[in-house]
Amino acid sequence: MRYYQVLIADQIYHGSEALTYSSELMLESGSLVKVPLRNRQVLGIVYSLVAEPKGKQIKPVSQLLDTPSLSPETLELMVWMQKFYSASIGVISKHFLPKLLLKSGVDIPTPPKTKPSLPSLKKLPVLNNDQKQVIAAVKDQGTYILHGETGSGKTRIYIELAYKAFVDGKSSIILTPEIGLTKQLYLRFEEVFGNNVVVFHSHLSENERFKIWLRILKSQTPLIIIGPRSALFSPLRKIGLIVVDESHEDAYKQEQGPYYHTTRVATKMGQLYKATTILGSATTNIVDFYIATQKNIPILRLSELAAASGPAKKLKVQVVDLKDRSKFTKSGHLSDVLLSRIKETLDRKEQSLVFLNRRGTARSVICNVCGWQALCPNCDTPLTYHADDHLVRCHICSYHDVPPSTCPVCSNTDIIFRSIGTKAVVAELEKHFPSARILRFDNDNKKLDRLEAQYENVHKGAVDIIVGTQTLAKGLDLPKLSLVGVVTADSSLYIPDYTAQEKMYQLITQVIGRVGRGYLDGQAVIQTYLPNNPILRAAVSKDWAAFYKQEIAERQQFMFPPFCFLLKISCKRVGRSAAEKAAANLVDDLKSKKLRLIVSDPTPSFHEKIGNKYQWQIIIRAKERDQLLGVIKMLPSGWSYDIDPINLL
């Protein structure tokens, strides 16, 4: 009889350690098995052979599944994630296995055999000097920041590096922040790698995901895996390249347990596989950039436009002051300048993109005349208006006050801000341009209307005006697009969070970067309440250095990442007073322990009422991340946590 440690791949198991089972068979590490747990049969992953435990009754393995084993690197990554994010093995393992396998664990079909294509770079454009220098600087192992301007040809570099890995017999994982962008990437890679390219994401049916997962697991040849963050956990055995494209995006943070961040897991995965890891973005995350400078991680720059051919293309940016209502005579939300530019673009049979920042839906105290905004005196973040108790609150430090009835700068009384939605923008555009073909892309789209389903129509110019939210600012490359309009550029600044300025810089830079990419002359119309805001000016002029210098100084002054680690903990109760009391009691308990922590006073969560319960939160900062892991282990029942949160809402 042999004894094995088995990682339980079921959410009913809340433990952090592998369990021991017996088997007469010689089982490989990474083998998939069925094992008994609490009178149920659950899926498990064999971790290691161990000595016979003394004095314990050991249950036998029920069944060995007829699939290849998971790689040793996969097992080590699972164990590392469990420790790093203080999550249960059951929660971690669900990300590595398809649901159908978890549900059935039997009847494993054999994927159809496909003859692999031989990759060829012949159809691709010639590399420019910038691209050649970057490729020459990238070695076979290590992490790199690829800080490339929009339109500088980062995808071309990814393809070149994936080709090198393929020739060495290794697979590549190319991650994108949105499922809507997978089609664009797939077409670019398929041109070189043919049927070796596999798209893997959550919008596939369970059956499709199961079949693709099995194909990846059983593949004897290298593959190119393309998808959002979940594609990182594809069951590959040899990996030569991991790319996190648009690495600054919030979508790379898992918002449910284990609350992992894709860039951190990808970096660890690259270390385990001895692979090259590329974090690519035109607007690199502040924390990633700072850590790279401190740890001597190479930062590779791309500034030369990749797609340019013939005479240089122009990019003209116009900033419209939303406070000047004389510029909005035809529409309350779309300026005369923007409407005029859309008409000109339609006349030239080119495309327009009208972008709405959905992040700006918070109720903030802002003056529509002079642009003044109510900020927390302690955290320098926007205060949020709570109508139920008529207070403005900071959601980080618990500062609160009665909102002013008039603007303290110009005495204006119209100071409560509300944002417009995408459907209202579409209605405005249909009124002014009744014959235009308009498509809206946001989270309300049905499956057939999503960007990944409509990408080819958008790409070939069958859509005249594209309206949407963040997805449209992320890496889209549309040859017929020549105009971008931003309805409210500064709405990110109204979000009560320390990342507000960074999000504004990233969004404006990214959305402007959809035009002027070397195909057509480009125009951008930026509508804003704050035309002289230094962050906006830096984004419009692509002055990363100025933005970074200001932002990193403020982060250090108010002690936000990268100068500390963060933990957000929260509780839900039926009554507001009960939630507030529970949070206050925990704060008192934590402070009494004299830990090396900065514990905020409790505050209502940004979305205080969820269903029929009230949610209150506590923000904890520490210089050492292990201190926060210790707090997680001592949390009372009924509390949830998010370690390394990307925002404090």
- C-alpha atoms less than 13 angstroms from C-alpha of 507 in its C-beta half-sphere: 28
Q: What angle do CA 141, 146, 152 make, to 5 degrees?
A: 135
**Class of residue 576 by CB neighbours under 10 A (exposed 0-12, middle 13-18, buried 19+):** middle
**3-state secondary structure labels for all residues of 397-423:** CCCEECCCCCCCCCCCCCCECCCCCHH
Of 421, 412, 433, nearest in space to 330 by CA: 433
Distance separating alpha carbons of residues 364 and 416, to the nearest angstrom:
6
Whether 452 has a pLDDT exceeding 50, the answer reads yes
Q: What angle do CA 624, 399, 372 make, to 5 degrees?
A: 110
Q: What are phi and psi of 321, to 5 degrees?
A: -80, 115
According to DSSP, the residues that pair with 3 across neighbouring strands are: 22, 50
- pLDDT, the chain, mean: 87
Whether 274 has a pLDDT exceeding 70, the answer reads yes
Mean pLDDT of 233-239: 95
Mean pLDDT of 421-443: 86
644 vs 417, which has greater pLDDT?
Answer: 644
Mean pLDDT of 384-390: 68
Mean pLDDT lowest for which of 205-219, 372-386, 580-594? 372-386
Of 27, 77, 25, 72, nearest in space to 49 by CA: 27
Of 133, 184, 194, nearest in space to 162 by CA: 194
Distance separating alpha carbons of residues 500 and 379, to the nearest angstrom:
12
Mean pLDDT lowest for which of 55-59, 91-95, 443-447? 443-447
What are 102's two structure tokens? 């978890």
Whether 169 has a pLDDT exceeding 90, the answer reads yes
The fraction of the chain above a pLDDT of 90, given in percent, is 55
The DSSP code sequence of 120-178 is --TTSPPP-HHHHHHHHH--SSEEEEEEE-TTS-HHHHHHHHHHHHHHTT-EEEEE-S-
* pLDDT tens string 71-87: 999 999 999 999 999 99
Distance separating alpha carbons of residues 181 and 183, to the nearest angstrom:
6
> Would you state the pLDDT for residue 224?
97
Whether 624 has a pLDDT exceeding 80, the answer reads yes
Mean pLDDT of 197-209: 88
> Would you state the pLDDT for residue 360?
36
Mean pLDDT of 55-75: 92
Mean pLDDT of 455-474: 80
431 vs 152, which has greater pLDDT?
Answer: 431
367 vs 178, which has greater pLDDT?
Answer: 178
Q: Does residue 352 contact residue 485 with C-beta atoms inside 8 Å?
A: yes
Measure the CA dihedral 215/220/225/231, to 10°. 60
Of 291, 321, 288, nearest in space to 490 by CA: 321
> Would you state the pLDDT for residue 390?
75
DSSP strands (E only) in 479-564? 481-486, 522-528
* pLDDT tens string 537-576: 999 988 999 999 999 999 999 999 999 999 999 999 999 9
Mean pLDDT of 311-337: 88
The DSSP code sequence of 4-27 is EEEEE-STT---SSPEEEEESS-P
392 vs 163, which has greater pLDDT?
Answer: 163
What are 264's two structure tokens? 């951190």
104 vs 199, which has greater pLDDT?
Answer: 199
> How does strand 384-386 pair with strand 224-227?
unpaired
State pTM to two decimals: 0.84
Q: What are phi and psi of 387, to 5 degrees?
A: -70, -30
The fraction of the chain above a pLDDT of 70, given in percent, is 91
| pLDDT band of 104, cuts 50, 70, 90 | low
> Would you state the pLDDT for residue 34?
93
> Would you state the pLDDT for residue 585?
95
125 cis-preceded (ω within 30 degrees of 0) = no
Q: State the DSSP code for 180.
A: G
Whether 361 has a pLDDT exceeding 50, the answer reads no
364 vs 71, which has greater pLDDT?
Answer: 71
The DSSP code sequence of 206-273 is HHHHHHHHHHHHH-SS--EEEESGGGGG---S-EEEEEEETTT-GGGB-SSTT--BHHHHHHHHHHHH
Mean pLDDT lowest for which of 111-125, 359-373, 457-471? 359-373
Distance separating alpha carbons of residues 42 and 54, to the nearest angstrom:
25
Of 223, 248, 184, 307, nearest in space to 509 by CA: 248
Q: Provide the phi-psi class of 375: left if phi over 0, else alpha when psi is between -120 and 50, else beta.
A: beta
Amino acid at 343: K
Helix (H, G, I), strand (E, B) or coil at 105: coil
Helix (H, G, I), strand (E, B) or coil at 281: strand
Distance separating alpha carbons of residues 200 and 65, to the nearest angstrom:
23
Distance separating alpha carbons of residues 126 and 572, to the nearest angstrom:
57
The DSSP code sequence of 305-370 is -SS--SSPPPEEEEEEETT-GGG-SS-SSS-HHHHHHHHHHHHTT-EEEEE--GGGGS-BBB-TTT
Mean pLDDT lowest for which of 402-406, 500-504, 540-544, 585-589? 402-406
Q: Does residue 267 contact residue 292 with C-beta atoms inside 8 Å?
A: no
Q: Does residue 554 contact residue 380 with C-beta atoms inside 8 Å?
A: yes
| pLDDT band of 179, cuts 50, 70, 90 | confident
What are 66's two structure tokens? 């007829």
- C-alpha atoms less than 13 angstroms from C-alpha of 350 in its C-beta half-sphere: 21
Amino acid at 208: E
Q: State the DSSP code for 532.
A: T
Q: Does residue 630 contact residue 641 with C-beta atoms inside 8 Å?
A: no
| pLDDT band of 371, cuts 50, 70, 90 | confident
According to DSSP, the residues that pair with 640 across neighbouring strands are: 570
| pLDDT band of 362, cuts 50, 70, 90 | very low
Mean pLDDT of 187-212: 91
> Would you state the pLDDT for residue 140?
81
* pLDDT tens string 122-149: 888 889 999 999 999 998 899 999 998 8
Q: Does residue 526 contact residue 321 with C-beta atoms inside 8 Å?
A: no
* pLDDT tens string 19-38: 999 999 999 999 999 999 98
